């Protein structure tokens, strides 16, 4: 008698996923259920997804500041705020899907907030290392780690979005820079400065993604030209079989893994190793995954071209 309400609740939460395959374990069993409850609460308050994004960004920026102190109790307060920021980062997207208010502008604001959170974290960790007696070279190390982080996160998001592009109808919008560029050129700085700034940031973001995955970009353009968004089942299945197993590795380069590594290093009082994690193991995984995904894209490109030749 009690299973039906539980199943209904699970299905309502699942309806706010992008797709179950691209969700991590921590997201599925903690952040998504918690985010859904928060989304329902914010919907009753009539808060917009952008307001929730900004609230999460403030929590994350403050968390970064609390990592500056060598007091573990203060660091733990920062960890709790960091978890809150992550929960709100989930809730804003779920609120947008729940209230049917998804938009490109919302995605851009969400991306900007995420970057500000990690700028705060990197800056305060670097200052902590400086005042603990580290060499000025720590700034170079932190900057290199931050650039690596930005590229890894952008590319992981791109491959996840591309997986949705090929396997889910709802994921076939807002991926390439061409549409963003044309919209950016239509708007003027005088009339819509805020919207144009957001589009400029998003355009730069999509260009970085495409630069790191040229074969995948070419594949998507070919598929769009051939099938006009109506990707046939055999092609969907082929991409799912080839790229699906890679998702669990891409998830290691997303926020949750970094957060857990950072928490562990703060608990043992060695936050400087966080930069080395970015530069060595994460970058090695990053390079390997790009190589594998570009090989898959090249293989899929050959299949698509053969189909075009036979059609």
User: Global pTM?
Assistant: 0.85
**HEC secondary structure over the chain:** CCHHHHHHHHHHHHCCCCCHHHCCHHHHHHHHHHHHHHHHHHHHCCCCHHHHHHHHHHHHHHHHHHCCCCCHHHHHHHHHHHHHHHHHHHHHHHHHHHCCCCCHHHHHHHHHHHHHHHHHHHHHHHHHHHHCCCCCCHHHHHHHHHHHHHHHHHHHHHHHHHHHHHHCHHHCCCCCHHHHHHHHHHCCCCCCHHHHHHHHHHHHHHHHHHHHCHHHHHHHHHHHHHHCCCCCHHHHHHHHHHHHHHHHHHHHHCHHHHHHHHHHHHHCCCCCHHHHHHHHHHHHHHHHHHHHHHHHHHHHHHHHHHHHHHC
* Sign of the torsion angle spanned by Cα atoms 129, 134, 139, 144: negative
Instruction: Please report the pLDDT score of residue 172 as a whole number.
Output: 47
CA distance readout (Å), 35 to 3, 92, 153, 195: 22, 8, 21, 27
What pLDDT band is residue 194 in, cutting at 50, 70 and 90? confident
Instruction: Please report the pLDDT score of residue 188 as a whole number.
Output: 73
pLDDT at 174 over 70: no
Please give the structure tokens belonging to residue 308.
């075009």
More confidently predicted of 52 and 101? 52
What pLDDT band is residue 10 in, cutting at 50, 70 and 90? low
Start-to-end Cα distance in the chain: 55
Task: Work out the percent of the chain whose per-residue pLDDT is above 70.
Answer: 88
Q: Are 195 and 104 in contact (CB under 8 A)?
A: no
- Please state the rounded mean pLDDT for residues 176-189: 68
Write down the mean pLDDT value for the chain. Answer: 86
- Please state the rounded mean pLDDT for residues 106-122: 90
Phi-psi region of 135 (alpha: psi -120 to 50; beta: other; left: phi over 0): beta
pLDDT at 102 over 90: no
- Please state the rounded mean pLDDT for residues 96-119: 85
Instruction: Please report the pLDDT score of residue 51 as a whole number.
Output: 93
pLDDT at 11 over 70: no
What pLDDT band is residue 16 in, cutting at 50, 70 and 90? low
Instruction: Please report the pLDDT score of residue 277 as a whole number.
Output: 95
What pLDDT band is residue 1 in, cutting at 50, 70 and 90? very low
- Which of 168, 42, 14 is CA-nearest to residue 99? 42
Quick: pLDDT tens for 261-278.
999 999 999 999 999 999
What pLDDT band is residue 103 in, cutting at 50, 70 and 90? confident
What pLDDT band is residue 109 in, cutting at 50, 70 and 90? confident
What pLDDT band is residue 295 in, cutting at 50, 70 and 90? very high
Q: Are 215 and 297 in contact (CB under 8 A)?
A: yes
| Cα 278 to Cα 281: distance, rounded to the nearest angstrom | 7
pLDDT at 251 over 60: yes
67 CB burial (10 A radius; 0-12, 13-18, 19+): buried
pLDDT at 177 over 80: no
List CB contacts of 34: < 8 A, sequence separation 6 or more: 87, 90, 91
């Amino acid at each position: 008698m009690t299973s039906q309400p539980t199943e209904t609740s699970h299905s309502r939460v699942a309806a706010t996923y992008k797709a179950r395959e691209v969700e991590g374990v921590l997201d599925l069993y903690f952040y998504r259920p918690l985010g859904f409850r928060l989304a329902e609460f914010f919907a009753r308050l009539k808060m917009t997804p952008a307001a929730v994004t900004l609230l999460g960004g403030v929590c994350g920026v403050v968390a970064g500041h609390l990592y500056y102190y060598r007091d573990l109790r203060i660091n733990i307060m920062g960890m709790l705020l960091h978890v809150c920021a992550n929960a709100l980062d989930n809730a804003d997207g779920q609120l947008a899907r729940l209230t049917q208010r998804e938009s490109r502008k919302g995605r851009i604001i969400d991306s900007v907030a995420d970057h500000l959170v990690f700028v705060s974290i990197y800056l305060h960790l670097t200052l902590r290392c400086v005042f603990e007696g580290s060499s000025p070279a720590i700034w170079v190390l932190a900057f290199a780690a931050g650039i690596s982080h930005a590229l890894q996160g952008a590319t992981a998001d791109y491959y996840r979005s591309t997986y949705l592009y090929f396997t889910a109808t709802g994921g076939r919008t807002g991926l390439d820079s061409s549409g963003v560029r044309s919209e950016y050129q239509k708007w003027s700085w005088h009339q819509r400065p805020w919207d144009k700034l957001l589009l400029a940031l998003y355009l730069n973001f999509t260009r970085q993604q495409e630069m790191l995955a040229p074969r995948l970009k070419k594949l998507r353009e070919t598929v769009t030209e051939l099938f006009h968004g109506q990707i046939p089942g055999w092609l969907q299945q082929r991409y799912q079989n080839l790229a699906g197993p890679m998702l669990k590795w891409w998830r290691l380069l997303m926020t949750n893994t970094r957060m857990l590594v950072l928490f562990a290093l703060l608990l043992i009082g060695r936050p400087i190793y966080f930069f080395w994690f970015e530069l060595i193991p994460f970058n090695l995984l990053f390079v390997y995954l790009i190589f594998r995904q570009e090989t898959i894209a090249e293989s899929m490109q050959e299949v698509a071209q053969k189909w075009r030749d036979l059609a």
